[in-house]
Amino acid sequence: MSGIAVLGAGAFGMALAAVHAGEGRRVILWGRDPARMAALAARRADPDRLPGVSLPEAVECTAEIGRVRGARALLLAVSAQNTGAFLAERGAELPRAPVVLCAKGIDARTLRLQTEIAAEALPGAPLAALTGPGFAGEIARNLPSALTLACADPALGPDLQRRLAARRLRLYLTDDVIGAQIGGALKNVMAIACGMADGAGLGHSARAALMTRGFAEMTRLAVALGARAETLAGLSGLGDLSLTCNSTQSRNFSLGRALGSGAARPGGTVEGVATARAACALSARHGVEMPIAAAVADVLEGRLTLDGAMEALLSRPLRDE
């Protein structure tokens, strides 16, 4: 085949497959579970993962990894904590095509970004990252969205930008691969914090404070890792932060809200949980202060109650902004 292969048939993978097929592109959607992929091929829908959305007939659904061999671009949409395992298991079977990392998260075991994991597993492979403020359901329904495509290769980046953009999916290009990925990963942690505040009834002012100071934490760590501060002020940082900290469509915000209100935790992958732990380890390694991320990690891992976390943040010494 030629065209685009989407590896990972979760909500975002299905959304990417739908939008590219809607542009008349040949798309293959790969998922690990043969029974689920057969059902998806027959029903063209999965209401559990992407309610109210049907996949175009042009999307080929398969659990056979060999079907992606002729693809000219690979969109890797498995969860962030499974990227390393997937590439270790399946990397040798993938074609030598550009790989676009679509998950937002820092590996909790190695503290590596998604492109760093891919660079080790696929030496010499052309790499990019796709991130920014886009809910899967809205992208799949062809609602207007703008994302960041991060690629350090000056020739590959513009080519992928042209090939992966759509009429309702605008892609902005950056060569700051670190900054784009840090923004996409850490906004999940801040969304959990904002959800906690919302669930606990702490008000809009508390959420605004958490978003603003959380953005400062994101920027500090990104710069310490070699990113440019202005990247965090774009779609992949501030844009994604604004989206995920203000909507129950965000699994991270919904998890925080459940914790804040004492409700049951929602199901599904919540990338910010593992990333909170990874962010704290990175901040310690680089001497970067990240009190909000630390408070989120402490609550998630049972070291602090929500009241204790709020008290810890509010009792910090006064300082200049």
Nearest of 194, 207, 200, 227 to residue 293 by alpha carbon: 194
Q: How many CB atoms are located within 10 Å of the residue 287 CB?
A: 8
Consult the annotation and say whether 11 binds a ligand: yes
- Clarify whether 259 is annotated catalytic: no
Consult the annotation and say whether 132 binds a ligand: yes
Consult the annotation and say whether 271 binds a ligand: yes
User: What would the DSSP string read from start to end of 50-94?
Assistant: STT----TTEEEES-GGGGTT-SEEEE-S-GGGHHHHHHHHGGGS
Consult the annotation and say whether 25 binds a ligand: no
Nearest of 318, 314, 16 to residue 163 by alpha carbon: 16
Consult the annotation and say whether 188 binds a ligand: no
Length of the chain: 321
Q: How many CB atoms are located within 10 Å of the residue 47 CB?
A: 9
Rounded to an integer, what distance in angstroms lies between the CA atom of residue 147 and that of residue 128? 13
Consult the annotation and say whether 240 binds a ligand: yes
Consult the annotation and say whether 13 binds a ligand: yes
Contact 117, 135 (CB under 8 A): no
Choose the catalytic residue: 20, 187, 207, 257. 187
Rounded to an integer, what distance in angstroms lies between the CA atom of residue 317 and that of residue 301? 25
Consult the annotation and say whether 82 binds a ligand: no
Binding residues for NADPH: 12, 32, 104, 136, 251, 271
Binding residues for sn-glycerol 3-phosphate: 104, 132, 187, 240, 250-252
Binding residues: 8-13, 32, 104, 132, 136, 187, 240, 250-252, 271
Name the residues annotated as catalytic: 187
Binding residues for NAD(+): 8-13, 136, 251
